[in-house]
Structure 1
Amino acid sequence: MSALFSTAAVFGIVATLALAPIAPPADLAVAEASLAAATARDEVQRVDIAGDATQPAASRESYTASTGPETLISGGTNLDWAKLVLVEGGWPLTEANVTFMMRWMRQENGADNWWNRNNPLNNGQGSGGGSGLGSYPTLVEAAYYAAENLKSGRYPAVDAALTRGDSADATAQAIWASPWASSHYGYGTHWSSRPYEVIEAPASAWGR
């Protein structure tokens, strides 16, 4: 009988522990009480957002890779030289500008020998040949002097058209009307708009 009573007493204690809720820690109870009091006093910090508010668009900067002279020199083609002149002159490397340069170079020396005398545009400035029959030590110097001549103030319409960079035909008309060539390229009759060919010059023409 005594054993049965002891077992019942132990069972009663265990049941009491299982059913009784565990009291929260003192600091948690204090925090909850403080939050309840603050809520009652309307002291809880909140952010009100207007119903018509819109999320600002994220700013995404635009970056473009620039083509450096060394990259073009290592390329070694007439296309690279055309771009090198544009880089030297600070003109944009647009498709229209590159197309104009390639067509112009072809009119001056022909695609198969575009590096003739290292003077693709038969430029007189800095080449020792006032009529455009001079030569340069390398195609690198030729690109520099071609850009310098076009920026000299003697060809303002060409410079302006290259600065816009939006029309190969408009830039061609500017060079026809300029004093660059005494023939004025027949004002277009001696000018071809057929697709250009990309041809590599000998490494020695680039000074390599």
Structure 2
Amino acid sequence: MQTRLRTPTHGRRSARRPVAVSKAIVTRAIHHRIGVGVTALALVAGLSISPTVPAQATTVSSGPRGPVQVFYVDAHVAAPPVKRDEIHATDGVQTLTTNATNADWAKLVMMFGGWPQSDNNVTVMLRWMRQENGPPDWYNRNNPLNNGYGSGGGAGLGSYPDLVTAAKYAAQNLQRGYPGIVAGFAASASPDVTAAAIWASPWSTSHYANGSHWSTRPVEIVQAPASAW
């Protein structure tokens, strides 16, 4: 039997021996701590500079007509205002001849003359047509303004093959020698202003008694027969 000898403690616990740790283990621990710290700093920095609104994302899916691109945008993102071009349309020959009223013929004259089909221009034209031919038969001889140019008759007693031709000749005659009336139409001047230009012009030898033979009451809208167009 072997006898184990113990070192006397003299009433105290013996001191623990230091444990040897390899340099490689210490180095790996240091590197690990440094790596954790760098990762934490990177996460904090990323959070501090990341946008509060998620970036837009796109996906592509297949639709009945091929690939479809879909955009996902955060609900708080406001769409910028979009200014769209204004589109204006005017009635053309087919529409006006289908409606076939005295107001439509007035618009035809405006169209052929290159003037606005405005309420002011149509109103003064209707009043003018009423002074030349009453509303019930404003299409008399297919010559609503009793225009002598191209109608084959002096003093406005001629006729045209149809009302479309009459509108073309009316616009051409005005452009040939009636600058005051043309200026009124081009500016969509008030009916009274353009009417004054008509009275002052040589269109009518009576000059409509300088307005005394000119009514401003509403003009009845009357449709012409299809044969007139």
Partner of 1:37: 42
Q: How many residues align?
A: 168
Tell me by how many angstroms 1:36 deviates: 5.6
Separation (CA, whole Å) in 2 of partners of 1:76 and 1:34: 83
The reply on whether 1:91 has 2:125 as its aligned counterpart is no
Partner of 1:76: 100
Structure 2 residue runs of 5 or longer lacking an equivalent are 1-37, 53-78
The reply on whether 1:101 has 2:106 as its aligned counterpart is no
The reply on whether 1:124 has 2:148 as its aligned counterpart is yes
Residue 143 of structure 1 aligns to a residue in which SS? helix
Contact in 2 for aligned 1:94/1:166 (Cα 8 Å):
no
Partner of 1:202: 225
**Which string of whole-angstrom CA distances, capped at 9 and with x for unpartnered residues, describes residues 87-146 of structure 1?**
111111111101000000000011111111110000011101231111000011000000
Contact in 2 for aligned 1:92/1:163 (Cα 8 Å):
yes
Please provide the CA RMSD for this pair.
Answer: 2.6
Structure 1 segment 111-150 matched on structure 2, within 5 A: 111-150=135-174
Structure 1 residue runs of 5 or longer lacking an equivalent are 1-32, 48-54
TM-score (norm 1): 0.73
Tell me by how many angstroms 1:46 deviates: 5.6
Residue 131 of structure 1 aligns to a residue in which SS? helix
Contact in 1 for aligned 2:90/2:117 (Cα 8 Å):
no
Residue 144 of structure 2 aligns to a residue in which SS? coil
Return the structure number with greater strand share: 2
| AA in 1 matched with 2:224 | A
1:156 aligns with one of 154, 160, 179:
179
Return the structure number with greater helix share: 1
Which is bigger in relative contact order (C-alpha 8 A, separation at least 6)? Answer: 1
TM-score (norm 2): 0.67
Tell me by how many angstroms 1:37 deviates: 2.0
